[in-house]
Chains A and B, each alone.
Chain A
């Protein structure tokens, strides 16, 4: 039987690699009886979704612009470096 510590590790790794059949079985068994690990699994999934959404929001936010001074600096670097 997996401990909560091992279960939380596997739940995290399941976001990063495919688990083996044995790992998936052990995980399911533990999650069946442990609501805390079930919560943990849901929460790290939510975390991933949320951070991703935040990133997409920043990317699509036309209000966020390259600061004017950086623009001037980069424009002059482009001028001096292009032939």
Chain B
């Protein structure tokens, strides 16, 4: 298959960006792209150049989840403490906010600001790995919950709890680090 070389030239950058948007780690993104091409040449069932990108992206999606699964497994032990922590830092015994959500005066185009995007990345980095992975799958990739549960081998309830914690953590982190800086 000579066309596999063209695939790398034609689609390599795109696939890398696609992976980076979900994994955020450049090395993991590279690995996912590499695994994608290796899988593609082993089973080059695809001929039509027009949709090679779609086909490769389909393979890449699985490789991205593989990478996430790997990083989730690697840190599973260190994350356990955080997984068990309840939401005491956010609510009092009666379930009232201890730290009430502030008003975010969002000036026009605030989301486009580099500063906001930088804080967003920093906040994502601070999430426990498992929460990061599931949050990216759900909110960037719009993966169905059912599939997330199957791929990461967790229950639906577990997924809701982790997404909830991720959103609580992200919201607070943004409020503290972006709102106050701007």
Query: What is A's interface to B at a CB cutoff of 8 Å?
Result: 3-6, 8-9, 12-13, 15-17, 36-37, 39-40, 43-44, 46-56, 58-62, 64-67, 70-71, 73-75, 77-78, 81-82
Contacts and interface: CB of A to CB of B under 8 A. Distances in A.
B33 A70 contact: yes
A81 B30 contact: no
Contacts of B138: 15-16
Contacts of A58: 17, 20-21
Which size bracket describes the interface of B in this complex? 35 or more
B105 to A, nearest CB: 12
Nearest to A64: B17
B145 A36 contact: no
B174 A47 contact: yes
Nearest to B98: A4
B94 to A, nearest CB: 7
B75 interface: no
Nearest to B7: A78
Interface of B: 1, 4-5, 8, 12-18, 20-22, 26, 30, 33-34, 37-38, 41-42, 87, 90-91, 94-97, 100-104, 106, 111, 116-117, 120, 124, 135-136, 138-142, 145, 156, 159-160, 163-164, 167-168, 170-171, 174-175
Contact of A4 (B14, B30, B33, B96): B96
B164 A13 contact: yes
A78 B12 contact: no
Given A5-B95, A51-B140, A58-B17, A67 B30 contact: yes
A52 B95 contact: no
Contacts of B135: 51
14 contacts: A13-B160, A15-B167, A16-B138, A16-B160, A50-B111, A51-B124, A58-B17, A59-B18, A59-B21, A61-B17, A64-B17, A67-B26, A78-B8, A82-B4
